[in-house]
Amino acid sequence: MTSFLGNLLGGLLKFVFDMVSSIGTESELLSYYGIAIVLTTIIFKFILLPISLHQSRSTKKMNELQPKIKEIQNKYKNDPQTQNAKMMELYKEHNYNPASGCLILLIQFPIIIAFFNVLRDPIRFVFKDPNIYNAINKGFLWIPNLEQPDPYLWGLPLLAALTTFLQSRLMTSNIEANPQAESTQKMMNIFLPAMIFMAARSFAAGIGVYWVIGNIFQIIQQLISNRSLGKIKEETR
């Protein structure tokens, strides 16, 4: 499955690379390969946009139901069986599936892994011929070679960590949770960017470019989504 998706996404990256390389003259700082990764990432995120929007709507719906969920939990805290039945009634009444968020993540996961594999092994999935891949310019901005890790810690590793932190904060800014869940989320908001920072130090820089551009796309999407949610809340007051 991952190999099949890898060939599809690799074909998309090769198509974009061919399109970009047929236009204008390649800049020393902006290689065709680097530009193709950026554009393919954006296209890739647009392809996943319906799934991401569905996930955002599911999160918003869960947030809206939180007061009623807490009420049921407090009212039937000594009767787990009735509590579960009342929760199921609540979900059915509001047409909400609590498993939908996990299902969406399961759909996205193999696609994202496949795209990682494409950038990790571009000869196999994109260019097919090692001679073609070895001949192209792999530099991008301050990065001398997208095949190798970024030599500067303040570059992609830091950008990857910062954009991951911002995306995580924005995703949870409109979610009401109990103190324990909030504490866990705060720890994740620190732990995940730190983990991404360490990983980006060893990943090929091409994967780092994909991660940063993907995060920026998600941040813009989340800002628009949060703004829309804020307007809806004001109108319903």
pLDDT value of residue 176: 53
Phi, psi of 90 (to 5 degrees): -65, -45
Region 93-108: what's the mean pLDDT? 65
Instruction: Give the Cβ contact number of residue 232 at 10 Å.
Output: 11
Provide mean pLDDT across the span 15-39.
Answer: 86
Answer yes or no: are the C-beta atoms of 189 and 172 closer than 8 Å: yes
Task: Give the per-residue pLDDT at 173.
Answer: 61
Across the chain, mean pLDDT equals: 78
As a whole number, mean pLDDT of residues 199-219 equals: 87
Quick one: average pLDDT of 77-84?
Answer: 77
- What average pLDDT does this structure show over 135-153? 85
In total, how many domains does the chain have?
Answer: 1
Calculate mean pLDDT across residues 160-173: 81
pLDDT of residue 236: 39
pLDDT at 230 over 70: no
User: Which residue carries 């296209």 as its tokens?
Assistant: 43
pTM of the model: 0.75
List of residues 6+ apart from 107 with CB closer than 8 A: 51
**What integer pLDDT is reported at residue 198 of this predicted model?**
86
Q: Which domain holds residue 224?
A: 2-236
Among 85-89, 153-157, 173-177, which range has the highest average pLDDT?
153-157
pLDDT of residue 39: 92
